[in-house]
Amino acid sequence: MIVDSYRFLPRSFRPFYEGRGPFPGEESPVWAPFEKRLSASRIALLTSAGVYMKESQPTFDLEREDANPEWGDPTWRVIPATARPEDFAFAHLHINPEDMLADPEIALPLRGLAELVDEGVVGGSVVDHVAVMGYQDRGLEDWGHTTAPEIAAHLREQGADALILAPA
Amino acid sequence: MPVLARWIEAAGIPTVVVTMMPAVAEERRTPRIVGVEFPYGHAFGMPHDKAMQRRVLELALRVLAGAASSGTRVDFDTEWPVPLREAYKSWQPKVPSPIVRKLLEARAQAST
The count of structural domains within chain B is 1
Q: What is the mean pLDDT of chain B?
A: 96
Domain ranges of chain A: 45-166
| Contact pairs from chain A to chain B, CB under 8 Å | 241
Which pLDDT belongs to residue B37? 98
For residues A135 and A138, what is the distance between their CA atoms, to the nearest angstrom?
9
Residue B81 has pLDDT above 90, yes or no: yes
Cβ contact, residue pair B97, A99, below 8 Å: no
Which pLDDT belongs to residue A46? 98
Banded pLDDT at A76 (limits 50, 70, 90): very high
CA dihedral sign of residues B76, B78, B81, B82: positive
Residue type, A95: I
Is the minimum CB–CB distance between B30 and chain A shorter than 8 Å?
no
Which pLDDT belongs to residue A138? 85
Q: What is the mean pLDDT of chain A?
A: 96
Domain that holds residue B82: 2-110
Which pLDDT belongs to residue B111? 84
Give the long-range contacts of residues A121-124, CB within 8 A, separation 24 or more: A121/A38, A121/A39, A121/B58, A121/B61, A122/A38, A122/A39, A122/A41, A122/A43, A122/B61, A123/A36, A123/A37, A123/A38, A123/A39, A123/A40, A123/A41, A123/A42, A123/A43, A123/A161, A124/A41, A124/A42, A124/A43
For residues A56 and A148, what is the distance between their CA atoms, to the nearest angstrom?
23
Tens digits of residue pLDDT in A137-163? 888 999 999 999 999 999 999 999 999
| DSSP output for A149-165 | HHHHHHHHHTT-SEEEE
Is the minimum CB–CB distance between B39 and chain A shorter than 8 Å?
yes
The alpha-carbon gap from B110 to the nearest alpha carbon of chain A, in Å, equals 16
CA angle A10, A6, B105 (to 5 degrees): 20
Length reported for chain A? 168
Residue B17 and residue B2 in contact, taking contact as beta carbons nearer than 8 Å: yes
Q: Which neighbouring-strand residues pair with B72?
A: B32
ipTM: 0.96
Other CB atoms within a 10 A radius of the CB of residue A130 amount to 27
- Substitution target in B4, B26, B38 with the highest count of A β-carbons within 10 Å is B4
Q: How far apart are the first and last CA of chain B?
A: 37
Tens digits of residue pLDDT in B53-76? 999 999 999 999 999 999 999 999
Which pLDDT belongs to residue A139? 85
Residue A7 and residue B24 in contact, taking contact as beta carbons nearer than 8 Å: no
Q: Which of A122-126, A129-133, B24-28, B105-109 has the lowest mean pLDDT?
A: B105-109
Tens digits of residue pLDDT in A19-73? 988 888 888 999 999 999 999 999 999 999 999 999 999 999 999 999 999 999 9
Instruction: Give A42's contacts (C-beta < 8 A, 6+ positions apart).
Output: A123, A124, A125, A126, A158, A159, A160, A161
Residue B112 has pLDDT above 80, yes or no: no
Banded pLDDT at A12 (limits 50, 70, 90): confident
Backbone angles phi and psi of A103, in degrees to 5: -155, 90
Residue type, B13: I
Cβ contact, residue pair B64, A121, below 8 Å: no
- CA A19 from centroid of its chain's CA atoms: 24
